[in-house]
Structure 1
Amino acid sequence: MKWFSELYEAIIDTPLEPWLETLPSQLASWSKTAKHGEFDKWCRLLAKLPQTQPSKVDLDTSVTIGSEQDIDTYTKKQITGLLKQFMPWRKGPFNLHGIHIDTEWRSDWKWERVLPHITSLKDRNVLDVGCGSGYHMWRMLGHQPQRVIGIDPTQLFLIQFQAIKHFLPDPRIHFAPVGIEHMPQLKAFDTVFSMGVLYHRKDALTFITQLKDQLRTGGELILETLVVDGDKHTVLLAPERYAQMRNVWFLPSSSALICWLERLGFKNVRCVDENVTSLEEQRATEWMTNQSLVDFLDKSDTSKTIEGFPAPKRAVIVATKA
């Protein structure tokens, strides 16, 4: 696919070039395997998106591409109708030529909490692990990295990313539909982000090691995940469901998570933010009409999930690879 050939070209003659020993064959195999039943339809719909010329781009304070004045009313309705075929939109928001994709998550709020605590991304090779639709990647791009690559095996997220990139085909930003467990130990990225992934992993320490294996010595890890209150010994092993999610495993305290990272060889490990997720930050919208956070909390006590556990609280940990 053209999407992937552009990625291959982008990493030739860079510290990431060793990835070409495995990535093309992986993605060739991926392209031949049975995909999501809607994938081919999504690709056909992508091809129908009209070409536009954005008069402005803002990746610094938002993800805004173009203005409403760039397109006529018919084109606006056409774009809106096509983008709604890619629902649910969970991470955002995006603004395309005046079309406001009001996603389930106010991911811009998370980005504003993270941004003050990270090293400059200018001229860096950046990896976003579990990047979703790519919202944070676009915000990273606003800080002038050499390149930013997101990985996520979810096919709908790939389609959503490509829909946004259709309107801003920047050669520095790419998406590969692979999991980190399928990546070689590149030890080449300057910055690795993992936001909202750790608690989905059965083996949390192996996952953190996989993140470390992508960083160069002195590289920076930004790890954002669900946590619980407690000391360095506190870890909640979720039962069958947590906030109605089936695929949640370990929720450590921030102190325990810091201990894990230090034990695995990171230095300068610190928790830079803790935040209880509010009903304003995660909610249903016309672009994500499924159940959301309000449906997963105890109706009489929103400080608890409907299973009786502490309501979702998220922490941001920043660390350096020794």
Structure 2
Amino acid sequence: MSEPDFSAVFRLLAEEGRERPGLHQWLALLPGQLKEALDPKRFPEFNGWWQRVKQLPEIETSQFNLQTAAITATQGLKTDGQPLGEGEKNQIAGLLKGLMPWRKGPFDLHGTYIDTEWRSDFKWDRLRPHLGRLEGRKILDVGGGSGYHAWRLAGEGAAFTLCIDPSPRFYAQFEAVKKLLGTQGLPEVYHLPVGIEALPDQLAAFDWVLSMGVLYHRRSPIDHLLELKSALRPGGELVLETLVIEGDEQAVLIPEDRYAAMRNVWFLPSVKALELWLRRAGFTNIRCVSQEKTTTEEQRATDWMTFQSLADFLDSENPDLTREGYPAPVRAVLLAEKPD
């Protein structure tokens, strides 16, 4: 491993673009987008993160499991056929620590358990019963962080999963995990450090598109829904997870400044309002499959994310409120289809 290598993604988009021409349009734009995404002038920290990824041992095979709460790799064999030594396992732990903070997970990689801020397996367990068959699906995970859900989707048989997230740190974390899973036998899972704005209009390429924990960060939520629909093929399905409040079709919370200490939260609709937004965006067969209050068991500070987390953002006297006095976080998952 030397510099970031996107050739496998380029090949995938070229092959899939024979049937889904929007991918060829994106492929023509992508090299320039990636150059900008990892521009050292914009993100000088990336070189340090990438050096840590490069220093990880070169693993050819491992026993990996993408269907457990933690994405797991054990019994790693290096490219010379030798197993990892204790010194190398300790090196792995140190290098992965150097990529902190880790937000979404968890991961268990050759003896290093990455206890991420989010127990993303909780969200997955709420979502999975409603997804049906994933075998052969071609899936885009928008704002997927370091790729936890992309790996879980692959573990359920997706043809390929592509995670996009504009954070270079998340890209480095994804590549670190992928390297430690080994080069042999991995499913088609990729990460691009770009946002949804990088996708061309009317891409119409994916069977499933996930947007989980993104909508409330968008200044124009309807435009985001239209972007998600544009990425879906006709008949494709959207998985949308976002913060919601109680109320009727017109109920929307717009924070004055911060929400749960987050400055970049713009709109928190009720489920009924969100269903209306989806209808206005042209989706059909809309249904809410989960609505759960976020707990401090699911989101918390850990040794791998040592900054403040949910417990610090709630009212110390009343955990049903944020420290700003708004309703405490409740997240809903909605499914919707793009018409044929």
Which category describes the TM-score, using the shorter chain as reference length? over 0.9
2:106 matched residue in structure 1? 93
**Distance across 2 between alignment mates of 1:264 and 1:119:** 24
**Distance across 1 between alignment mates of 2:336 and 2:207:** 12
**Distance across 2 between alignment mates of 1:37 and 1:24:** 19
1:103 matched residue in structure 2? 116
Q: Which moved more, 1:114-123 or 1:235-244?
A: 114-123
Aligned-pair CA distance for 1:57: 1.3
Code of the residue aligned with 2:64 in structure 1: it is V
Q: How do residues 1-322 of structure 1 correspond to structure 2 at under 5 angstroms?
A: 2-14=4-16, 15=20, 16-32=23-39, 34-62=41-69, 63-67=71-75, 71-168=84-181, 169=183, 170=186, 172-185=188-201, 186-322=203-339
**Distance across 2 between alignment mates of 1:33 and 1:88:** 20
Q: Which moved more, 1:277-286 or 1:170-179?
A: 170-179
**Distance across 2 between alignment mates of 1:249 and 1:135:** 25
**Percent identity of paired positions between Structure 1 and Structure 2:** 50
**Distance across 1 between alignment mates of 2:4 and 2:104:** 25
Query: CA RMSD, aligned part only?
Result: 1.6
Aligned-pair CA distance for 1:271: 0.4
Asked if the contact 2:40–2:47 (Cα under 8 Å) also holds between the matched residues in 1, the reply is no
Q: Which digits, 9 at most, give the CA deviation of each residue in 1:74-116, with x for residues without a partner?
A: 1111000000000000100001012110000000000010111
Q: Which moved more, 1:154-163 or 1:179-188?
A: 179-188
Code of the residue aligned with 1:156 in structure 2: it is R
**Distance across 1 between alignment mates of 2:218 and 2:4:** 31
**Distance across 1 between alignment mates of 2:195 and 2:165:** 6
Asked if the contact 2:38–2:46 (Cα under 8 Å) also holds between the matched residues in 1, the reply is no
**Distance across 1 between alignment mates of 2:137 and 2:111:** 31
**Distance across 1 between alignment mates of 2:206 and 2:239:** 12
Aligned-pair CA distance for 1:171: 5.7
1:219 alignment partner, SS class:
strand
**Distance across 1 between alignment mates of 2:102 and 2:4:** 24
Asked if the contact 2:300–2:309 (Cα under 8 Å) also holds between the matched residues in 1, the reply is yes
TM-score of the superposed pair, with normalisation by structure 2? 0.91
Aligned-pair CA distance for 1:33: 5.4
**Distance across 2 between alignment mates of 1:139 and 1:171:** 11
**Distance across 2 between alignment mates of 1:77 and 1:29:** 34
TM-score of the superposed pair, with normalisation by structure 1? 0.96
**Distance across 2 between alignment mates of 1:58 and 1:44:** 26
Code of the residue aligned with 2:135 in structure 1: it is K
**Distance across 1 between alignment mates of 2:41 and 2:279:** 41
Asked if the contact 1:195–1:224 (Cα under 8 Å) also holds between the matched residues in 2, the reply is yes
Asked if the contact 1:54–1:65 (Cα under 8 Å) also holds between the matched residues in 2, the reply is no
Asked if the contact 2:40–2:46 (Cα under 8 Å) also holds between the matched residues in 1, the reply is no
Asked if the contact 1:284–1:290 (Cα under 8 Å) also holds between the matched residues in 2, the reply is yes
Code of the residue aligned with 1:101 in structure 2: it is I
**Distance across 2 between alignment mates of 1:211 and 1:203:** 13
Task: Tell me the number of residue pairs that the alignment of Structure 1 and Structure 2 aligns.
Answer: 322
Unaligned runs of 5+ in 1: none
